[in-house]
Structure 1
Amino acid sequence: MKKVVFPVLCCFALLINCSKGGDITSSPDTNANLKAGNLLSTGASARDLLSNDTFDKLLIEIDYVNGFAPTAGAIANFEEFLRARTFKEDIEFKYTALSSPNEETLTLDEIVDLEKENRDEYNNGSTLAIHIYFADAPADSDEEDENLVTLGAVYRNTSMVIYESTVKDIASRSTAITTEDVETATILHEFGHLFGLINLSTESVNDHEDSESDNHCNVDGCLMRAELEFGASLLKEMKRNTSKGLAAVPSLGPECLLDVKKYGGR
């Protein structure tokens, strides 16, 4: 398993991570053949997500721990993003409230186990299924002594975790930026990785991968820009955007948009 952690510097001296895992080794499963299409590497389903060549419906299963559901606004922003960048017109969200696993922190392997235990939806016919787990515990990779925390991770072609307790904590430290803003930025950035950005089971039209951060864009202001995780303050960046009358959450830059179109999207 490959796991890469991407820190973000916040204006209140807090580092935020976007964690991107690679292949996850699965234990034997009697329904493995039915689930095989959802057990691939990150980015492997970029064309399936973006185009209607094989799948014309997107079913997004959102499992959340009670009290840690995503905001309605963030999910509306997410759906708008999907409709703008993909050719999917049939998009369905399915929500399931779960009890807490009662863990102080969660490893990525534990997240995988939680998905295996709770995920109900897998690819079926012309329906492509995505699973997103909203956790009530932070990532075990967080280093509080160094103010390093993780917001979300993708670890397979249709699998994602959002560390909602951490998202809420970050948002609570600003009066200008909301939980919806932080959720939206995290979900869209992580989903960009599922789209294959940058060079994840895909190949970019032009070379725009950050030389110091694998699978991130080097174009200023892009949603997939590495500085969102490494050298810049996420909250400060959002505040700067809003002060200019722009949306708080960055958009995909021109090079990433070229890649999205190459992979089958809009």
Structure 2
Amino acid sequence: MKKIALYALCSFGLLISCSKDADISSSDSTINIDKSGNRLSTGASARNLLSNDTFDKLLIEIDYVTGFAPTAGAIANFEEFLRARTYKESIELKYTALSSPNEETLTLEEVVDLEKENRNEYNNGSTLAIHIYFADAPADSDDESEGLVTLGAVYRNTSMVIYESTVKKIANSSTSVSTEEVETATLLHEFGHLFGLVNLSTQSVNEHEDTESDNHCNVDGCLMRSELEFGSSLLKQMEKNASKGLASIPDLGPECILDLQKYGGR
């Protein structure tokens, strides 16, 4: 399993961290619940997420610290994205409000521990389960002196964390981009990694991986592109798009769409 690696989608540097494989043991067990299918490397469930070959239902468990739930609009956009790119017709969302872990910051190891403690849904029959945790504390990797903050991260094949307190903070710094839009961009980008983008337990149809940022796309304007090395942030790009009357949230580029189609998506 790879060591934890954080990659940038954007900087304000604003940085969407794309940690992929948590180098963390999973020794906990619950009687009669097989968790092995949810403890694989990031991208390993790409075909299962995209097609109906094995799983025809997607169950998304959203655990959030009270006061840090995602906006209804972002979740609606997220579900629309899933229906547009996968063949899943049955998508169910379950919400659970949790108490705060009372941490000033969260390491990815602590996020994994929170999942172990709170996650209820795992693959069952023809249902594929995803876990998303909306945190009330920022990532411990943030470096505000450098202006770098983490919005979200994926680890394993069905696990994601959104640093909602950070999402709200950076969205509030903009007059033209809303919390809903920043949440949407973060959710879609991170789920793109669960889809195996780019070259995460998958192999691209054509070579389009950024040579300076592993597992990100080098196609201009793509949702899976890392902007850190190019000196522009996601927020700035979203504001630029909005000022032109365009959709503020980047979409998947043609090469990433080809990759999804290769593994059973639309």
Task: Assess same fold via TM > 0.5.
Answer: yes
- What are the ranges of 5 or more consecutive residues in structure 1 without an aligned counterpart? none
Query: Which 4+ runs in 1 deviate beyond 4 A?
Result: none
- Residue 110, structure 1, aligned to residue 110, structure 2: yes
Identity, % of aligned positions: 76
The match for 2:3 is 2
**Count of residues in Structure 1 that have an aligned counterpart in Structure 2:** 263
Matched residues in 1 for 2:184 and 2:230: separation? Answer: 19
Matched residues in 1 for 2:109 and 2:230: separation? Answer: 25
The match for 2:30 is 31
Tell me if structure 2 keeps the 8 A contact 1:17–1:229: no
TM-score normalised per structure 2: 0.95
The match for 1:20 is 19
TM superposition shift of 1:154: 0.2
Residue-by-residue CA offset, 1:198-224 (whole Å, 9 max, x unaligned): 000000000000010100000000000
The match for 2:252 is 252
Matched residues in 1 for 2:29 and 2:160: separation? Answer: 23
- Residue 180, structure 1, aligned to residue 173, structure 2: no
Amino acid at match of 2:231: G
TM superposition shift of 1:232: 1.4
Matched residues in 2 for 1:54 and 1:260: separation? Answer: 16
Matched residues in 1 for 2:233 and 2:227: separation? Answer: 8
Answer with 14-23 or 250-259: which moved more. Answer: 14-23
TM superposition shift of 1:17: 3.1
Matched residues in 1 for 2:126 and 2:228: separation? Answer: 35
Matched residues in 2 for 1:224 and 1:109: separation? Answer: 25
Query: SS where residue 214 of structure 2 aligns?
Result: coil
The match for 2:202 is 202
Matched residues in 1 for 2:63 and 2:197: separation? Answer: 24
The match for 1:263 is 263
Pair 1:230–1:15, CA change in 2 (3 A): farther
- What are the ranges of 5 or more consecutive residues in structure 2 without an aligned counterpart? none
Residues 87-102 of structure 1: pairs in structure 2 closer than 5 A: 87-102=87-102
Query: SS where residue 87 of structure 2 aligns?
Result: coil
Matched residues in 2 for 1:67 and 1:229: separation? Answer: 34
TM superposition shift of 1:229: 7.4
Answer with 150-159 or 222-231: which moved more. Answer: 222-231
Tell me if structure 1 keeps the 8 A contact 2:59–2:129: yes
TM superposition shift of 1:126: 0.2
Compare the two structures and name the one with the higher strand fraction: 1
Tell me if structure 1 keeps the 8 A contact 2:196–2:202: yes
- Residue 67, structure 1, aligned to residue 70, structure 2: no
Aligned-pair RMSD on alpha carbons? 1.4
Amino acid at match of 2:4: K
- Residue 153, structure 1, aligned to residue 150, structure 2: no
TM superposition shift of 1:27: 3.5
Matched residues in 1 for 2:36 and 2:174: separation? Answer: 42
Amino acid at match of 1:4: A
The match for 1:57 is 57
Matched residues in 2 for 1:58 and 1:229: separation? Answer: 35
Matched residues in 2 for 1:96 and 1:158: separation? Answer: 17
Tell me if structure 1 keeps the 8 A contact 2:7–2:214: no
Tell me if structure 1 keeps the 8 A contact 2:60–2:132: yes
Query: SS where residue 149 of structure 2 aligns?
Result: strand
Residue-by-residue CA offset, 1:161-209 (whole Å, 9 max, x unaligned): 0000000000000110000010000000000000000000000000000
Tell me if structure 2 keeps the 8 A contact 1:136–1:165: yes
Matched residues in 2 for 1:265 and 1:213: separation? Answer: 24
Residue-by-residue CA offset, 1:71-102 (whole Å, 9 max, x unaligned): 00000000000000000000000000000000
Tell me if structure 2 keeps the 8 A contact 1:50–1:85: yes
Query: SS where residue 94 of structure 2 aligns?
Result: strand
Query: SS where residue 19 of structure 1 aligns?
Result: coil
